[in-house]
Amino acid sequence: MPEGKIIKALSGFYYVLDGNETIQCRGRGIFRKNKITPLVGDYVVYQAENPKEGYLLEIKERKNELIRPPIANVDQAILVFSAVEPDFSTALLDRFLVLIEDNEIEPIICISKMDIVPDTDRFQLEEYVKYYAAIGYTVLTTSSVSSEGTKVLQPYLQDKTSVFAGQSGVGKSSLLNAIDPELALKTDDISSHLGRGKHTTRHVELIHIGTGLVADTPGFSALEFLEMEAERLSYCFPEIYETGEKCKFRGCLHDKEPKCAVKEAVKTGEIRQYRYDHYMQFFEEIKERKPRY
């Protein structure tokens, strides 16, 4: 039986990429019965009625899946943040990093508009860049010119399935259009009144960029930790997880426990205060979350 990858889902049809061919398929009733929804990014087995139409027979095991946007088997998330307009936010970046890490997706941080950072803010921003790189993240910086961003990003997109996410109004669609002008993705200007962009993308679709696939999606609309357990949070802060191995008590949550190596490292500046503050903020959010039935 032929196999392929769903690259678009629209109005009950699934468009399966098999080599260079795209076959329009419907899902079998068995999926509905078993409450399985095929997702963009799924690897599937299908049966073709004719060269253009067929049925999905089986969905292969997923390595990960996101709920919003609904997509599976993502290799990496390109987190696009701007240095200014809107201002760079470590709190928002850390929230994205935790959500991405929790789904076992590789994050790549891309900070744009570095050329228009006021001198008064430049040192602080460069410190952030150095710190995130030091704790193991890939951090790319670009100017406000989209074409430079494309040069920096392009090598990272090859042979991968990527999703773009990050601050609203930072020009994610403009960046993708600059990488491949044929995309002609809709872009809206930043609403200066709100200080944030408007979502312009609707359904999820994987589009070819070079030898890679990129999800054309508004990115993450849900930024709450709905599924995460408090014990798992430290895994999503690499430096806290690593330092936590030295805590006196196994399973230390780095909150009120004595002889906590993480709190010690925050005091000495080895772990940045803002990272620990965000860890604790998210920890409280998860603890106060209402149980879902």
Q: Which CATH class is domain 71-216?
A: alpha beta
**What per-residue confidence (pLDDT) applies to 28?**
84
What is the location of CATH 2.40.50.140 in the chain?
Answer: 3-60
Distance CA 105, CA 161 (A): 10
Distance CA 4, CA 55 (A): 12
Q: Are strands 106-112 and 76-82 parallel, antiparallel or unpaired?
A: parallel
Q: What is the pLDDT of residues 29-55, one digit of tens each?
A: 888 888 889 999 999 999 998 877 899
202-209: average pLDDT? 82
**What per-residue confidence (pLDDT) applies to 199?**
42
Q: What is the pLDDT of residues 160-170, one digit of tens each?
A: 999 988 877 77
Superfamily (CATH H level) for 230-288: Probable gtpase engc; domain 3 (1.10.40.50)
Q: Does 196 have pLDDT greater than 90?
A: no
pLDDT band, very low/low/confident/very high, at 202 (cuts 50, 70, 90) = low
- Tell me which DSSP letter residue 142 carries: -
Q: Does 190 have pLDDT greater than 50?
A: no
Q: Which of 136, 33, 115, 95 is nearest to 277 (CA)?
A: 95
**Averaged pLDDT score across all residues of the chain:** 87
pLDDT band, very low/low/confident/very high, at 185 (cuts 50, 70, 90) = low
Collapsed DSSP state (helix, strand, coil) of residue 59: strand
Percent share of the chain, pLDDT over 70: 89
Sort 268 into a burial class: Cβ within 10 Å, 0-12 / 13-18 / 19+: exposed
What is the location of CATH 1.10.40.50 in the chain?
Answer: 230-288
**Token code pair at residue 130:** 């150095």
Instruction: Give Rg (Cα) of the chain.
Output: 21
What is the location of CATH 3.40.50.300 in the chain?
Answer: 71-216
Q: Which CATH class is domain 3-60?
A: mainly beta
